[in-house]
Amino acid sequence: MARTIPFYTSPQAARARRSKTLLLPMPRVQADELSLQVHIALDAMRRAQGNVSAAQTLCQVMILVGLLAEAGYGSATFEQMQRAEEVIASAFDRGRDRGVWMLDDDGFAQFATIVSTYDLQLRRAPVAAIADASDRLDRFRAGDSFDQIAPRRT
pLDDT tens, 53-65?
999 999 999 999 9
Strand partners, 126: 25
Q: From CA 89, how far away is CA 53, in angstroms rounded?
A: 14
Closest CA to 76 of 37, 121, 106: 121
Closest CA to 57 of 35, 77, 78: 35
Q: Where are the domains of the chain?
A: 27-141
Q: What is the DSSP letter of 6?
A: P
Q: Provide CB contacts within 8 A for 89, sequence distance 6+.
A: none
Q: From CA 59, how far away is CA 51, in angstroms rounded?
A: 12
The 10s digit of each residue's pLDDT in 93-121 is 999 999 999 999 999 999 999 999 999 99
Average pLDDT over residues 14-41: 84
Determine the 3-state secondary structure of 54 from DSSP. helix
Indicate the pLDDT class of residue 24, thresholds 50, 70 and 90: confident
pTM: 0.81
Do residues 108 and 45 touch, judged by C-beta distance below 8 A?
yes
